[in-house]
Chain A
Amino acid sequence: MANPSRRPRFLDVTRIRFPVGAICSFGHRVSGVALAIASPLLAVLFTRSLQGAEGYAEAANWLTPLPVRAALVLVVWALAHHLLAGVRHLLMDVGFGSALGTARASAWLVNLAGVAIAALAVGALR
C-alpha cells in the first residue's frame, strides 16, 4: 500500500476561485504588513517635520520626488483599505453585516472605496 504520509494536497491558489470577501481579507493582511513596514519611514518624516522650520522644510522636500509620491499613493491605498476593511470587521464583531449578502456587498464597497481613495490621492499628490 502506498505511503499515506506522501499524499499530495491540492493547494494551488491560482486554481481556486476566491469570493470577494476573501479578496478584501487578503488585501487587509497585505495592507497591514505594508503599513507595518511603512510606519517607521512615515515616523521619520513625522519626526523631521516637528524639528523647527528647517526640519519641516526638509520633510516637505523628501516628498517632492515622483517615486516618493508614488509610494505615498500606495501607502494611502494601504491605509484606506486596511482602515475600511477593519471597520467592516468591527461592525461584524458586534453583529452588523455578517449575513452573506450584506458581507459580500460590504466587501465590494471596501475594495472599491480603497481604490477610489487611492485615485483621489493620485490627484492630490500630482
Chain B
Amino acid sequence: MRFSIYRFNPERDSRPTMQNFEAVVGPHDRMLLDVLLRLREQDDSLTFRKSCREGICGSDAMNINGRNGLACITPLAGLKEPVALRPMPGFPVIRDLIVDMTQFFNHYHAVRPYLVNHEPPPERERRQSPAERAKLDGLYECILCGACTGFCPSWWWNPDRFLGPAALLQAMRFIADSRDRATAERLEFLDDAYRLYRCRTIMNCTEVCPKGLSPSRAIEHIRQRIVKEGL
C-alpha cells in the first residue's frame, strides 16, 4: 500500500517534506494505525502518537487524505492511494505527525471544564434526573482529540483567540449540566467577538468528529442561551 507522509525533524530539517512509503499490509490489518505501526519497521524515525488503538484516547488524530480523523479507527478499505498523511492543520508541528496541543488545552482550561457549585454538598450525590442527565449526551463523550478544532478554518485564522469547537463543546457540556451553578458567568465569558463568535457555522467540526458529536450544534445552543438570557 502506497503512502505519502509528512516528515519534519526539527533537529535536521528546515522545512517539512513529504516522504513516499510502500507498506506491506498484514493479513489481519484492518485500520490505518495497524499499517502505520508496520511502517516503523521500515523506518523507525517515523513519529506519531498512539495509545488505545480503539478510538477513545484521541492520541492519533491526524489529517488523512485531506480530512482529519483517528488513525486507529480509520479502515484501510476505501483509503485512496497514495494515502496522504499530514499532521492536523493549524497546530504547530513538533515532529512528523505529532503536533503541539498546548494552545488547544489552554482553550479547554479557559472554559472551566469542571462543575462549579458552592452549595453545601448533599449527603450522597448531587442528584440529577434521567432527563437532566440526557442533556449531557452528545457533549460528555468528547475525547479531546482535536480533529474538530484542527479542521476549523476560523480556528486556523485565530488559534490564539478563538476557543475552537472542542473547547466550546465542553463549555456547553457544563452549561447544560443541571448541577452546575456558574451558567451566567460561563455565558458572559463566551459572549465575546473572538472566543465564540469567530464561529461561522461552517460545520467542518461536525464533519470530522470521530465520536459523531456536533460541536456546531453545541455552539448554536450556547448562542441561543446567550440571546435568551439577554432578553
Give chain A's interface residues, CB within 8 Å of chain B.
Answer: 2-4, 6-11, 15-19, 21-22, 25, 29, 89, 92-93, 95, 98-100, 103
Contacts and interface: CB of A to CB of B under 8 A. Distances in A.
A100 B206 contact: yes
Contact of A98 (B16, B207, B217): B217
B206 A17 contact: no
B91 A9 contact: yes
A28 B224 CA distance: 22
Given A10-B88, A25-B202, A92-B220, A15 B207 contact: no
B94 interface: yes
A98 B66 contact: no
Contacts, number: 83
A84 to B, nearest CB: 15
B84 A15 contact: yes
Nearest to A18: B204
Interface string B46-70: 0000000000000000010111000
A98 B93 contact: no
- Which 9 residue pairs across A and B have the least CB separation, nearest first? A17-B66, A2-B10, A7-B92, A25-B202, A19-B207, A21-B203, A98-B217, A10-B86, A16-B66
A8 B63 CA distance: 15
A22 B204 contact: yes
B126 interface: no
A100 B214 CA distance: 8
B124 interface: no
Contacts of A100: 203, 206-207, 214
A21 B100 contact: no
Interface in B142-175: 151, 153, 156
A7 B90 CA distance: 11
B223 interface: yes
A5 B9 CA distance: 14
A11 to B, nearest CB: 6
A44 to B, nearest CB: 31
